[in-house]
Structure 1
Amino acid sequence: MASLDKDVSKINEIIEKSTIIEERNPARYRLKLITHDLGQSKPYRNITFGERDSKKPHKTILMVGETGTGKTTLINAMTNYMLGVQREDKVWFEITDDQSNRKDHSPTTIITVYGVYDQKSPDDLTIIDTPGYGNTRGISFDKEIAMNLLRLSKDGLHEVDAVCLVVDASQTRLSDRQIYIFDAVQSLFGRDIAENIVLIFTHSTGAHPKNVLTAVKEAKIKCAVNEQNQPVFFLHSEMMRFFKFLENIKPKTLKMTQEVLQKREQLEANVSNLQLRVQVMEQKQNELKQTQAALEENKKYVEDNKNFEYEVEVSYKLTKEATCCPVCEENCHYPGCWWVRDLSWCSVMKDYHCTVCTNKCHYSEHVKEAKIYVAKKKKEKRTYEDLKKKYDWKIGGDESLVKKLEKELQELEREKKNLLNEAFHCVENLEKIALNTDSVFTLLHIDFLIEKLKEINEPQKAEILENIKKRAGVENTGALGYITYFR
């Protein structure tokens, strides 16, 4: 970035474009900003100071980190540096504000895009502020942040120059919650962006942050490294050095990151849908086996073609809230993209069709309303005559009723295998493209998939997932316990 020369008249001009917050030393001012109307359905907002100059050099920074690490102060420090403010000016400008006036979304999950476009500054800067991870509102809100970032990347954020992982310098050891937060943050990105991730330590005394660096290394955070293969980091007070680094770094496209976010959401939706469908299949298989047993038990009645009554346990579906496919009677995305009005934007849709439901139905067949399909069981009386009608079976036909039931069981087993293989390949793809290959968000589903892959005689695939679990298990035990508890 070009150097910023002191200019008293410039500072006075900025003061004229601001409102006083507090008269002290330094005096605090709120910049007069423009909040762009992006529509109520957008899960992010755009706030600018000045107008963007397309001819100027421009940098984009993405800020991520834990709630309470001081991202707000850091964003304001970056803004003051860009405006050329120096200590002797005895002023402090603020671009940030609270989100309490946002009533259409939860304040914790809205992403804010700040534009610092001062005419007299040599460069333009965009700062993307993601809400703090580990908020008391729970894990679902952290997942919403990821989906909001996906939406932003689809709407126009195609590349970033730096991802700033903001860390409290006072940390000496990592709690389960902090391990989870580092995991969640790294789970956002594709593996190609590692060299653009830098650490910024806040609440620092100015001394070398030895303890927090040790904690970061223990968490195995993937980030840019220097010539000594040590993590690239900056203290809160080192804005000049940070922007010098920013001047020399090449921006990275978010294409792979977008794919990672999409795949993670699809995996979760697929497994959620798969669990319901496998449950229904297994209940259906049990129903067919009970029917076969009833035919064998009443073999004499069958031979004489006499009617008889028998009892089976059948499955049925109740509904709660989700994005569903009424055609397939399945949950495609639970709890769903809460900010989506047009379901073609839903993260489980591809080429206007669902990637989750059985028939891969068009998005227009889907609904977002207060229901979710839940498999239940009940006892039901059946008769031999009803069974013959259901399978359109007649005495002397080419195929016995038992064979028809066996064919239906085999078809259900084939469908079950296809679903499990699809989920397995989703995990495989994430292993190839994700920065955090062993994310706890993936590990949450591993045990279910391992068990079911073994059931369908896919031991090699089950072993691959077991190896992922073993590799990640020790390091992620605390994070996995945290996320499981707060789900």
Structure 2
Amino acid sequence: MSGEEDKFINILLLGETGTGKSTFINSFANYMQHATLEDAENLPKCLCLIPTKFSVLTENGDAITINFQRDDNEDETFGNSSTQATKAYVFPFGAKMIRIIDTPGINDSRGAVTKDKENFENILEYIGQLKYLHAVCFLLKPDVTVLTDAFKYCMGELLSRLDRSAADNIVFFFSRTRSSEYKAPESIGCLKRFLNEITKSKGVTIPLRFKVNERNNCFYFDNEGFNYLVAREQGVHVGQPAKLKESWENSYKSCWAFIDYILGTKEYAPLPPHNVLDTVSINRARLLIFELAKPLADIIELVQDNVNALKNHKKSIVDVQNNAVQLKRKLYLPVIELQESPLQQPATICTSAKCTEVYTIAGVQKNHFKQVCHSPCFLPGVLKEFIGDPVLFACEAMGWSTNCRKCGCNFLNHTHVYYETRAEESRLLDRSVEAQLESNEDLNKAYTECVLELEKRLEDLQKEQKTISTAMAMFAHFLQNNSICPINDSYEAYLDSLIKREKSAVNPEKDLLDRYESLKEEHIKQKRHLDVAAELAKKQNIKHVTPDQILAAFKDLKELPLTGKKIDSLHRLFVERKQSEMLKNMEYVHSLPPQPRNEDKGNDELEQMQAVILNLLSSNYQQAANALYKEFVEKKEQPPNMVKKMTDWFSNLSLP
């Protein structure tokens, strides 16, 4: 390690919503600065990196809520993750700097599965800017008797993205441990069973060391000392019993034990930091694999269509070989080509039989989904190229109805697409065969050459089909052997817990339940495909695959004589459309009944914006509503009276 990176100790902190990650960071920063509570009290202000909110009991027994500082990155809504985006907090530590990366809590109620996945992408994007990661820390409470599905999902999702070498850098923090005498036997027991399952199923050992005379990677803390300092600074007296001093001293020792675990001691060597480039390389390859999923599926279907067309055509040639007139008409090679139509923005289309055009190409029946029901469609959280995603219930074409207002079909017959494809037939004629036909030379010779050419093209197509299948098996092998977990096995159980939670609600939302069920079904299907491809990789004796080999395999696919250019163009199209969609934040989901228009243009704009915000809030898109409100009031040319009207109106809303 050298240069600026050598100065930083990078720590990634993860955990469920409600475990107190943000408060822990504040406490950690203070414990690293002061060995005793008395030392911290001698300063006029405590170190508060992140705004904090908590309740304390005063000396008189009154419960008071302390709200210290505010930050746009913190959300105080009950049930939401306090931290809304990945953000790092840096504070000095001797000649070094400690950088703790705070992350949104898992099981975030602002969209559950969709928001959790978005949060993980945000985390990976952030750590991708770093060179090294010294520790990946999971924060838990000390009295966990059963690990929640949300925590398993949290760990599983991260392990599916990390290079295997990061396993040694995983550590466990336990908060609020004073009541358990700075131990966590129940939580450690649960963790031990869960990590043993990972070792058995994935062949990767994640260390869990907590015994005396071991190099422990379990550390125990309490936040009471920091809370006391903040309350004291706010003029709230909670007393200073001996337990606060004891809590501070134990937490201080744990902080230093953790730093020693990273930097090493006389007894132990430093912990080698995880090279983030390894994980970034894996995730770049992983992203490419997922980007190629739809294009390669289209190409595999295209190749099979061509194989079927050639076989059908060969049979038809043989049937008329003794009929000179008909034979002359058939001495060509049928070619089915895929014509893609790029969509400037994603669109919602219908796939029902009523809205599908069936056509025949070279004896092969194909479907063309001609009905575009909503374009552009920026509805968030929709699975692309997946027919029947219940999220489409909220598409403008449905208008929160089960049937589409455009075509009349059920919303579950619809899908979200980046591009459209249509098969078209062309005819390939060998020049020598063509010359023989024109000069009326030996028809039998022309027939023989055409059949040979047909068989050669058939053989070439089947070779390319095998090459594509082998590449897909290589991709599966890569996912199986480079990530700690190739696919998040806990995702299914996590979805089950969300389904159970929604079913037990007072007024369960059917569309949300259907969505969770659909996501679960798609996940099971993805696992099944991965298992099949992995089995194929085993049969083909594919050895260890590196990210560079994935890129090389993609390069080889693009250079295939018959299908390479189409693979490249479909992949480019998919990526371009995906990047274009990322520039858009939301779709205005549906419209409320028309509001009376005001002759004042400013009031009209205000009323329209208020209607949009209400729509978003009613659809649980609170963050989007907040962003839209902020954009309106901060608009430079906005008249002051409009800003005041909007501010007063928004402040009186009953936000969820």
Q: Deviations over 1:170-224 (max 9, x none)?
A: 4322344432222112223222232321111235563132222222122216245
Query: Residues of 2 paired with 1:274 and 1:54: CA distance?
Result: 43
Query: Residues of 1 paired with 2:90 and 2:285: CA distance?
Result: 30
Match of 2:610 in 1: none
State how many pairs are aligned.
353
Q: Of the two structures, which has the highest relative contact order with CA contacts closer than 8 Å and spacing of 6 or more?
A: 1
Pairing partner for 1:263 from 279, 285, 289: 285
Pairing partner for 1:284 from 276, 284, 306: 306
Match of 2:48 in 1: 94
Q: TM-score, normalised by structure 1?
A: 0.58
> Which deviates the most, 239-248 or 90-99?
90-99
Gaps of 5+ in 2: 51-70, 76-81, 199-205, 223-250, 263-269, 347-379, 381-415, 438-444, 492-522, 545-656
CA RMSD of aligned residues (A): 4.7
Query: Residues of 1 paired with 2:460 and 2:120: CA distance?
Result: 37
Pairing partner for 2:528 from 447, 455, 475: 447
- Counterpart residue identity of residue 413, structure 1: Q
Give secondary structure in 2 for the equivalent of 1:63: strand
- Counterpart residue identity of residue 74, structure 1: F
Q: Does the Cα contact within 8 Å between 1:59 and 1:160 map onto a contact in 2?
A: yes
1:54/1:420 CA distance change after superposition, 3 Å? closer
Query: Residues of 2 paired with 1:161 and 1:134: CA distance?
Result: 25
Query: Residues of 2 paired with 1:273 and 1:152: CA distance?
Result: 28
Q: Does the Cα contact within 8 Å between 2:153 and 2:488 map onto a contact in 1?
A: no
Higher strand fraction: Structure 1 or Structure 2?
Answer: 1
Q: Deviations over 1:34-60 (max 9, x none)?
A: xxxxxxxxxxxxxxxxxxx97996422
1:129/1:371 CA distance change after superposition, 3 Å? same
Query: Residues of 2 paired with 1:321 and 1:172: CA distance?
Result: 51
- Counterpart residue identity of residue 201, structure 1: F
- Counterpart residue identity of residue 408, structure 1: R
- Counterpart residue identity of residue 130, structure 1: T
Query: Residues of 2 paired with 1:462 and 1:74: CA distance?
Result: 48
Pairing partner for 2:23 from 73, 78, 83: 73
- Counterpart residue identity of residue 411, structure 1: D
Q: Does the Cα contact within 8 Å between 1:283 and 1:314 map onto a contact in 2?
A: no
Query: Residues of 1 paired with 2:298 and 2:84: CA distance?
Result: 29
Q: Does the Cα contact within 8 Å between 2:11 and 2:99 map onto a contact in 1?
A: yes
Q: Does the Cα contact within 8 Å between 1:449 and 1:462 map onto a contact in 2?
A: no
Match of 2:539 in 1: 460
Query: Residues of 1 paired with 2:537 and 2:95: CA distance?
Result: 60
Deviation at 1:414, TM superposition (A): 2.0
Deviation at 1:305, TM superposition (A): 3.7
1:443/1:159 CA distance change after superposition, 3 Å? farther
Deviation at 1:61, TM superposition (A): 1.2
Deviation at 1:431, TM superposition (A): 4.5
Query: Residues of 1 paired with 2:329 and 2:107: CA distance?
Result: 63
- Counterpart residue identity of residue 447, structure 1: R
Q: Does the Cα contact within 8 Å between 2:83 and 2:102 map onto a contact in 1?
A: no
1:231/1:318 CA distance change after superposition, 3 Å? farther
Pairing partner for 2:155 from 170, 176, 182: 182
Query: Residues of 2 paired with 1:55 and 1:176: CA distance?
Result: 36
Q: Does 1:225 align with 2:225?
A: no
Query: Residues of 1 paired with 2:114 and 2:464: CA distance?
Result: 30
Pairing partner for 1:401 from 450, 453, 456: 450
Query: Residues of 2 paired with 1:400 and 1:142: CA distance?
Result: 60
Overall identity of the aligned pairs, in %: 21
Larger radius of gyration: 2
- Counterpart residue identity of residue 162, structure 2: F
Match of 1:330 in 2: none
Q: Does the Cα contact within 8 Å between 2:307 and 2:458 map onto a contact in 1?
A: yes
1:151/1:226 CA distance change after superposition, 3 Å? same
Match of 2:550 in 1: none
1:407/1:227 CA distance change after superposition, 3 Å? farther
Q: Does the Cα contact within 8 Å between 1:162 and 1:197 map onto a contact in 2?
A: yes
Q: Deviations over 1:294-340 (max 9, x none)?
A: 4344445566545489x9998654555899xxxxxxxxxxxxxx9xx
Query: Residues of 1 paired with 2:279 and 2:6: CA distance?
Result: 27
Query: Residues of 2 paired with 1:302 and 1:283: CA distance?
Result: 28
Q: Does the Cα contact within 8 Å between 1:163 and 1:197 map onto a contact in 2?
A: yes
Q: Deviations over 1:341-383 (max 9, x none)?
A: xxxxxxxxxxxxxxxxxxxxxxxxxxxxx96345566xx8x7x
- Counterpart residue identity of residue 217, structure 2: V
Pairing partner for 1:125 from 83, 98, 115: 98
Query: Residues of 2 paired with 1:233 and 1:320: CA distance?
Result: 52
Listed as ranges, the matches of 1:244-393 within 5 Å are 244-249=257-262, 250=270, 251-252=272-273, 253-301=275-323, 304-307=326-329, 317=340, 319=342, 372-373=418-419, 387=427, 389=429, 393=433
Pairing partner for 1:241 from 238, 241, 254: 254
Deviation at 1:74, TM superposition (A): 1.3
Match of 2:169 in 1: 196
Query: Residues of 2 paired with 1:322 and 1:444: CA distance?
Result: 27
Gaps of 5+ in 1: 1-52, 102-106, 324-337, 339-369, 466-487
1:158/1:275 CA distance change after superposition, 3 Å? same
Deviation at 1:108, TM superposition (A): 7.9
Query: Residues of 2 paired with 1:438 and 1:77: CA distance?
Result: 35
Query: Residues of 2 paired with 1:211 and 1:192: CA distance?
Result: 28
Query: Residues of 1 paired with 2:474 and 2:542: CA distance?
Result: 14
1:62/1:176 CA distance change after superposition, 3 Å? closer
1:297/1:197 CA distance change after superposition, 3 Å? same
Q: Does the Cα contact within 8 Å between 2:83 and 2:103 map onto a contact in 1?
A: no
1:296/1:446 CA distance change after superposition, 3 Å? farther
Query: Residues of 1 paired with 2:158 and 2:428: CA distance?
Result: 57
1:305/1:425 CA distance change after superposition, 3 Å? closer
1:281/1:117 CA distance change after superposition, 3 Å? same
Listed as ranges, the matches of 1:417-456 within 5 Å are 417-436=466-485, 439-440=488-489, 445=526, 447-448=528-529, 451=532
Query: Residues of 1 paired with 2:193 and 2:345: CA distance?
Result: 39
Give secondary structure in 1 for the equivalent of 2:73: coil
Q: Does the Cα contact within 8 Å between 2:74 and 2:83 map onto a contact in 1?
A: no
> Which deviates the most, 416-425 or 54-63?
54-63
Query: Residues of 2 paired with 1:143 and 1:297: CA distance?
Result: 57
Q: Does the Cα contact within 8 Å between 1:263 and 1:430 map onto a contact in 2?
A: no
